[in-house]
Structure 1
Amino acid sequence: MKFGFKALAALAVAGFMSIGTATAAPLTDKDYREIKPAQSTEPGNKVEVIEFFWYGCPHCFDLEPTLKKWLTKLPADVTFKRVPAIFRQSWVAGAQTYYTLETMGELDRMHGKVFDAIHVERQAFNDIGTIATWMGKNGIDGKKFEDTAKSFAVSGKVQRAQQMSAAYQLTGVPALVVDGKYIALGNTFDGMLANLDALIERARAERAAAGKK
């Protein structure tokens, strides 16, 4: 079957329109879950995105490269932070590790390395003593790490992370939360992040409508 130039052009336009329609498809209840009641966010006029994660979670590990790519294009009116989820006592050491690295100014350098240690090197990070020993082999003072992990400041952050894990009604990780209201869902990481972008747009519109500052 042959098509003339005009017919081909019409097909191209139709194809473009169908792609645009698919991209602009409204969110459905399969694309996100609403948090009720909504949780408070940090003061300011930026849409808040939180990633709840656990260092021992293989899905969190697999998401990390895709999420890092997404973060390179983070809009100026969006703020992003991570919170180590705590569903059970065995997850506490992971939260201590995250907040200790943050306190010591080593989070950017070590966040990915901790994931690799667990999922690539198969290190058993079950307690702070073991983790501190590993840190000592990776350019961090092991004793300082352990002391910081047991400090009042880190303990307070860990307790807050545990409270947030319950308040945000998490059923698993990774969980990407928008403005304390919505959890992005998806069958693939790319799908989840596409839904995340759509939820950011929704939250942005809601803030504008409410005149939120």
Structure 2
Amino acid sequence: MFARALTLFVAAVFSVSSLAASGDAFEGHDYARVKNPQAVATGKKVEVLEFFWYRCPHCFQLEPSLAKWIKALPKDAQIRRVPAVFREDWMPGAKLYYTLEQMGLLERLHAKVFDAYHLQNLDLNDPAVLGKWIAKQGVDRKKFESTYKSFSTQSKATQGARLAMTYGITGVPAFIVDGKYMTSVGMTGSEARLFEVLDELIAKARAERAGKKAAP
């Protein structure tokens, strides 16, 4: 009886592994359906949300590959980065992100913020350290600090924190495709597989938007 049960278990595991490695994103393994699907903010474009934290080592490690993948996104898809806030000490990073966004500095400084935390060991949560660092980047420090402390920035950071809670995000980096599907490196097993799954989920969402059944 035990031998038969073991055989069935091994067969089941092999079946799941085969499906996951076949190239098709496997629900329950590579991705999961969001329990409470949400409306997207990208209009006609398929939305890809990235929940991250600047001080997260996994987010830092993923960033170069993610940046490369984003450049190759199809025209009908759009990435939206959302700094998650699980604790009070995550809020400064969220405010930093939205300050850079409002000042049009994300493209130039987003990766540099990661480097400052992880390679230079700078505590950008410290206002004094952040102020000196931002000035070294050639940014008007007074304008930056004013934007950082603004109601608009605080509001955006709070909304981002709520969005992570709404989607049930418990760790970063994590991705939501078109408000319906969740995936992560932890689910896919590797960075390379993550981007394959994201591509498949974008295609799936595209087909669903067009009222077509996604290809198996």
Normalised-by-shorter TM-score class: 0.7 to 0.9
**Alignment correspondent of 1:38:** 37
Contact 1:47–1:179 at 8 Å: present in 2 too? yes
Name the amino acid aligned to 1:30: H
Cα distance in 1, alignment partners of residues 138 and 65 from structure 2: 27
Cα distance in 2, alignment partners of residues 152 and 28 from structure 1: 40
**Alignment correspondent of 1:204:** 206
Contact 2:91–2:157 at 8 Å: present in 1 too? yes
**Alignment correspondent of 1:174:** 173
Cα distance in 1, alignment partners of residues 119 and 182 from structure 2: 28
**TM superposition shift of 1:28:** 3.2
Name which of 165, 181, 186 aligns with 2:188. Answer: 186
Cα distance in 2, alignment partners of residues 186 and 145 from structure 1: 38
3-state secondary structure, aligned to 1:75: coil
> Which is worse superposed, 199-208 or 53-62?
199-208
Name the amino acid aligned to 1:100: T
Contact 2:53–2:93 at 8 Å: present in 1 too? yes
The alignment-based identity, stated in percent, is 48
In structure 1, runs of 5+ residues without a counterpart are 1-21
Contact 2:24–2:200 at 8 Å: present in 1 too? no
Name the amino acid aligned to 2:202: I
Over aligned residues, Cα RMSD in angstroms? 1.7
Taking structure 1 as the reference length, the TM-score comes to 0.84
3-state secondary structure, aligned to 2:211: helix
Cα distance in 1, alignment partners of residues 165 and 195 from structure 2: 23
**TM superposition shift of 1:79:** 1.2
Compared CA separation, residues 144 and 26, structure 1 to 2 (3 A)? closer
**Alignment correspondent of 2:67:** 68
Count of residue correspondences: 190
Q: Cα deviations across residues 40-88 of structure 1 (Å, max 9, x unaligned)?
A: 1126221110111110011111111111111121101111111111111
Contact 2:42–2:78 at 8 Å: present in 1 too? no
Compared CA separation, residues 153 and 170, structure 1 to 2 (3 A)? same
**Alignment correspondent of 1:149:** 148
Contact 2:46–2:178 at 8 Å: present in 1 too? yes
Taking structure 2 as the reference length, the TM-score comes to 0.83
Name which one, 1 or 2, has greater alpha-carbon Rg: 1
Q: Cα deviations across residues 93-151 of structure 1 (Å, max 9, x unaligned)?
A: 00110011111111111101100011111111223343122111221122221111110
